[in-house]
Amino acid sequence: MKNILVTGAAGQIGTELVTSLRQRYGKNAIVIATGRRTQLPAYIKNTGPFSYLNVLDRNQLEELAFENNIDTIYHMASILSAVGEQKPQLAWDINMNGLYNVLEVARTYNISVLWPSSIAVFGPDTPKLNTPNDTILKPTTIYGISKVAGELLAEYYFHKFSVDVRSVRYPGIISSETPPGGGTTDYAVAIYYDAVQKGSYTCFVREDTTLPMIYMPDAIKGLIDLAEADNAQLTHRIFNIGSMSFSAGKLADSIKELIPDFTIQYKPDFRQEIADSWPQSVDDSFARSEWKWDPKYDLPKMTRDMIDRLQKKFNKEENF
Ligand code: SER
């Protein structure tokens, strides 16, 4: 029997992660969804336990972990890069102290930790193409700085206290269930919503802006595959994972294939500089060899699925 706790369960990744974990483990696991938002989708509330949790409150986290005999924490609560630049103190506080609290509770109760890092750990000095796993980490955003510090802290807890902590560096994540909140890569999600609802989109990065991206089913699968990987096969705790890379213009072209009247204009804002500091593609050979990372979606397949899901979602809402 597994006892899993997910922080940030109302967030972009959290909602789908909770669903996938509950489906995957069924009666063999209790998956406690935690977060600060009470407006959780019914499919989370109706399929298992939910608890209010502020990750900055270590006592509350400890109580939940102890009382429920938690053996694994998926720590997803985080402030993303664009909001982070507007509220750097808040981003540092939640991202660093939240992770610190999780690692401390994990150390005390012998809990495994899965925690997402990000391509935001890289900066302008990092090689931009096929960025290696082990390379220069000098980000220019507070979000990236909190992820680099978090990676170092996670590795410290692994070496010093034998906490089994594992992490993937997510590219921009595209999904149709819960919108992301305040990331630089959010244009790659918003473009689909606006294409389906309005037929046009104003993009906040340039047409040639190219970043690594991943579709949510692959993002979730990657984290769960890493959680289930044999520890003896892992030479790293933190892994690049690649999937697809494309420019904003190519993304728009893939949407036009299915919605020919779709139009896009480009009005770059402060997020352009953040996007320009990140890699265009990553080398994920360690993930592929050590735990068989194998994403299933490319751009055309993802675009078909996103548009299909969003059309169903909004048709359903209109019919209410
Ligand atoms: N998608 C995140 C962001 O844009 C990067 O991890 O902030």
Q: Residues 33-53: pLDDT tens digits?
A: 999 876 678 888 889 999 999
Structure confidence by residue, pLDDT tens digits, 53-83 = 999 999 999 999 999 999 999 999 999 999 9
267-285 burial, b at 16+ Cβ within 10 Å, e below that, comes to ebeebbebbbbbbbbbbbe
| Position 184, amino acid | T
Ligand 1: atom nearest CA of 81 is: 7
pLDDT digits (tens, 9 = 90+) for 145-157: 999 999 999 999 9
Domain borders along the chain are: 2-172+215-240, 174-212+244-278+299-318
DSSP string, 219-284: HHHHHHHHHHS-GGG-S-SEEE---EEEEHHHHHHHHHHHSTT-EEEE---THHHHHHTS-SSB--
Confirm or reject: Cβ of 192 under 6 Å from ligand 1: no
Q: Which two tokens stand for residue 142?
A: 């507070």
* Cβ atoms of residues 188 and 172 within 8 Å: yes
Q: Tell me the CATH number for domain 174-212+244-278+299-318.
A: 3.90.25
What are 302's two structure tokens?
């993802």
CA atoms within 13 A on the CB side of 283: 12
pLDDT tens readout for residues 81-99: 999 999 999 999 999 999 9
Ligand 1 atom closest to Cα of residue 185: 4
> 257-271 pLDDT, tens per residue?
999 999 999 999 999
| Of 234, 281, 224, nearest in space to 13 by CA | 224
Enter the tokens of residue 68.
Answer: 């429920």
Distance 120 CA to ligand 1 centre (A): 7
- Identified catalytic residue from 143, 157, 215, 297: 143
Position 44 scores a pLDDT of: 86
CA of 105 to the centre of ligand 1 (A): 26
CATH label, 2-172+215-240, candidates 3.40.50.300, 3.40.50.720, 3.90.950.20, 3.10.20.30: 3.40.50.720
Q: Active-site residue 143, yes or no?
A: yes
